[in-house]
Amino acid sequence: MRLVLLSDTHNHHASLDPLPAGDVVLHAGDLTGRGTLEEARTFLGWFAGLPHRHKVFVAGNHDFCFEREARLAEALVPAGVTYLRDSGVVIDGVRIWGSPWQPWFFDWAFNLERGPEIAERWALIPEETEVLVTHGPPQGVLDAVLGRSRERVGCADLAARVAELPRLRLHAFGHIHEEYGMEERGGVRFVNASVCDVRYVPGNRPVVVELG
In three-state form (DSSP H/G/I as H, E/B as E, the rest C), the secondary structure along 134-150 is ECCCECCCCCECCCCCC
Task: List residues bridging with 27 in a β-sheet.
Answer: 6, 57
pLDDT value for 207: 98
Q: Note the pLDDT tens digit of each residue in 87-107.
A: 999 999 999 999 999 999 888
Q: What is the pTM of this model?
A: 0.97
Q: Residues 111-118: what's their mean pLDDT?
A: 98
- pLDDT score, position 148: 60
Domain range annotation of the chain: 2-210
Domain 2-210, second-level architecture: 4-Layer Sandwich (3.60)
Query: Which band of pLDDT confidence, cut at 50, 70 and 90, is reported for residue 146?
Result: confident
